[in-house]
Structure 1
Amino acid sequence: MKFKSILTTLVIIAIANTLHAQNPIITDVFTADPAPLVYKNTVYLYTGHDGATTEDTNYKMPDWRVYSSKDMVNWKDHGSPLSPSTFSWATGDAYAAQCVERGGKFYWFVSTFHKADNNSKGGAAIGVAVSDSPTGPFKDAIGKALITNEMTTDNKHSWDDIDPSVLIDDDGQAYLFWGHASCKWIKLKKNMIETEGEINTFKPKNYIEGPWVYKRKNLYYLVYASAGTKPEMIEYCTADKITGPWTYQGIIQENVPNSFTTHPGIVDFKGKSYFMYHNGALPTGGSYRRSICIDYMYYNLDGTIQKIIQTKEGVKAAK
């Protein structure tokens, strides 16, 4: 009898671990655009939040969310500490964003839309929020947008300035990358809330949006959603310098289930590399009701990235 009880307990634990590890990793709300950050032996995951109904035919993204994990399997929900309403100048939805730490403060770079007013005709814009904690509360760091653009000639909102990604290089210089249709970058001052120098624009092969920039060993990586096909795939370039030139390396993630977009978030944690993305695999999910997944990421000896294998099982708990 005692043996059966122990066996039953082990089976329950095994089932529970499997359920926690399966993709998608968050099942109670729809989440998109993953942006991981490692801080003090914990992974903080910053996400978008899809609030569209099954009948909606466009995005409804009311806020950004934060989750944390010490093993990449069990995730704690920290709620929604930031939304476009945090920014007095903003309107519209909470699009892709990334949070980085510097000097004990947390800078959350976000893409949303700018109100049409005396300072702007509107359009996509990038703001920055700041907090003393990775889980907030966050506040507008500068009281205005960091990056703005204007309305297009056909009087529709321009989507040029979306999807920020930030790298703080080994010498302390910070860079902001972003952009739809073309990729842009600019230096950030040490305070992380002011830009320095001119905006640089370039066009990686098949680039459409969602850049994720990072450095591994002596190589810089620019990973992005590609316009080579619909639905999107993930492709990447590498460079010896953050300023380029960038060498195209190919496709690393094929189309995802039930979503015409995908979005990369990459992190090293406890000796392993992880690739985060979103798909529409949950029941009632879809292109406007997406969910974040995690799978392992592997490199070749020359630093190139192996193809990502998308799984339903996800990853095992990091030891």
Structure 2
Amino acid sequence: MKKIKIINGLAFCSLSANAFAQNPVIQTHFSPDPAPMVYKDKMYVYTGDDIPGYDFYYMTKWRVHSSEDMVNWTDHGVPISLESFSWARDRAWAAQCVQRDGKFYWYICAQTVDNNMAIGVAVSDSPTGPFKDALGKPLVTTGTWDNIDPTVFIDDDGQAYLYWGNSKLFYVKLNKNMTSYDDKITEVPQSVEAFGGLRRPGKSEDVLQKQEKFNDVYVEGPWFYKRNKKYYLMYAGMTDRTECLSYSTSSSPTGPWKYQGKIMTDQPTNSFTNHGGIIDFRGKSYLFYHTGLLPGAGSYGRSTAIEEFKYNADGTIPKITMTKEGVNPVRILNPYQRNEAETIAWSEKCSTSENKKTGVFVSDIRVGGYIKVRAVDFGKGVSEFSASVAAGLDGGILEVRLDKTDGQKLAEIEVPRTGGWEEFKTLTSKITESVSGVHDVYFVFKGKNITAGRKLFNFDHWSFQKK
């Protein structure tokens, strides 16, 4: 039985709660350590890129996605990687991007050629790149493994702060150029009052995880921001052998900090670590975090998830429970413009790739897979569907269906050989079915007289024509 949901004054047609399954929000690649940023009425999220199959956090590049509606996420590919930094050798771990004076500064951490961790910064004129190393050397390097997980915030008076730390927590005041600092590095004092727990001297991280139990303790992954004149520091804490998300607050950007409690704990994330960011967008508050719940995932294959929440009246953050459904759309999608195929709410049996000529496109499409796009507003009707596709072999079929994978079929395109897997051609299909209003759209992948495991075609962009 169909139900109508009213979201921000818009009516959305759904078939069941499962139709809105959204977490994790990116399925084509692993996307750990999400760092959200709002720019020009669009949400961006900067992530790592776990490579599963290893018994460690093996990461060599960083990714960026964006969304105007919080549910359909556009893949912008890999604007930076370890190769972007001449001083970096391994461990492309957590990072955050911020905007200042029309430029975008992406603070990363990586292992140096001297076998330590350091923080660097890349710069671009666009939130999606291309980015380049701003310094040609690390911004922060102290010859230790403490220099991980940078978080950056620019205060109302223009002063920028960089926090980071592994077990220990540090900060510096950045200069206005965002690529240097004059003051010395300050270590933040840790106490039960400040962060909920205190480490025993000399205990290694491995021993802590296996033997010690804490109410809470700062571990890594700080996220620094300000709301209503109050400063918030969320971080990955440690409780009973697994990480939680906790936070402290202060009336000053440099403390002293007061422990406020856990935000997300004892959740079935299938991941030892958790790392997140909190941000407001279109009048709503969101927690970004990661889980290990995609097929073949786990603690070394983590993916971005999102939950909406409301602050308590006193500004404290409530306990947040992870969900499969994730968040609701905050606006509708226009089908009568070019829409990138890599703008996805949910997908199965496909991935994304990129090249210099085309940019990012959907690739590795297999029989039985699909792409779901949520909250598409058809208005009063459509007459034609167009898709840009590429194939080195024929036999692939692209179906367009409404609201579910076997829902009403609007269009079908049999994809011929186009001259190569990256030689894209735009094909069209007339639509005779009646359709209007807001629907989820499913691009369903099928094959004709081919084996199920064979690659079908690549998919770059799509659009509809009004009736």
Does TM, normalized by the shorter one, top 0.5? yes
Of residues 122, 137, 149, the one that matches 2:142 is 149
Rounded to whole Å, the distance in 2 between the matches of 1:29 and 1:15 is 27
Of residues 231, 247, 251, the one that matches 1:240 is 251
Given that 2:169 and 2:187 are in contact with CA atoms closer than 8 Å, whether structure 1 keeps it comes out as yes
Change (3 A) 1:114 1:16: farther
Alignment of 1:84-99 (within 5 A): 84-99=82-97
5+ residue gaps in structure 2? 1-11, 197-216, 332-467
* Count of residue correspondences: 295
Partner of 1:119: none
Change (3 A) 1:15 1:111: farther
Choose between structure 1 and 2 for higher RCO, CA contacts under 8 A separated by at least 6 residues: 1
What is the RMSD computed on CA atoms of the aligned residues? 1.8
Of residues 119, 125, 136, the one that matches 1:126 is 119
Rounded to whole Å, the distance in 2 between the matches of 1:104 and 1:250 is 36
The answer to whether structure 1 residue 201 and structure 2 residue 187 are counterparts is yes
Partner of 2:33: 33
Alignment of 1:173-184 (within 5 A): 173-184=159-170
SS in 2 for 1:30: coil
Partner of 1:22: 22
Change (3 A) 1:272 1:123: same
Q: Deviations over 1:115-170 (max 9, x none)?
A: 12xxxxx30100000000000000000110001121xxxxxxx4200000001000
Rounded to whole Å, the distance in 1 between the matches of 2:47 and 2:17 is 23
Given that 2:98 and 2:104 are in contact with CA atoms closer than 8 Å, whether structure 1 keeps it comes out as yes
Deviation at 1:52, TM superposition (A): 2.0
Letter in 2 for 1:69: S
Partner of 1:250: 261
Letter in 2 for 1:96: A
Partner of 1:295: 307
5+ residue gaps in structure 1? 1-11, 117-121, 151-157
Letter in 2 for 1:199: I
Partner of 1:100: 98
Change (3 A) 1:17 1:78: farther
Given that 1:20 and 1:74 are in contact with CA atoms closer than 8 Å, whether structure 2 keeps it comes out as no
Deviation at 1:296, TM superposition (A): 1.0
Rounded to whole Å, the distance in 1 between the matches of 2:285 and 2:62 is 24
Normalising by structure 2, we get a TM-score of: 0.61
Normalising by structure 1, we get a TM-score of: 0.89
SS in 1 for 2:220: strand
Rounded to whole Å, the distance in 2 between the matches of 1:15 and 1:104 is 43
Deviation at 1:222, TM superposition (A): 0.3
Deviation at 1:16, TM superposition (A): 11
Deviation at 1:297, TM superposition (A): 2.2
Partner of 1:192: 178
Change (3 A) 1:199 1:298: same
Partner of 1:83: 81
Given that 2:17 and 2:325 are in contact with CA atoms closer than 8 Å, whether structure 1 keeps it comes out as no
Rounded to whole Å, the distance in 2 between the matches of 1:197 and 1:138 is 27
The answer to whether structure 1 residue 210 and structure 2 residue 221 are counterparts is yes
Rounded to whole Å, the distance in 1 between the matches of 2:266 and 2:19 is 24
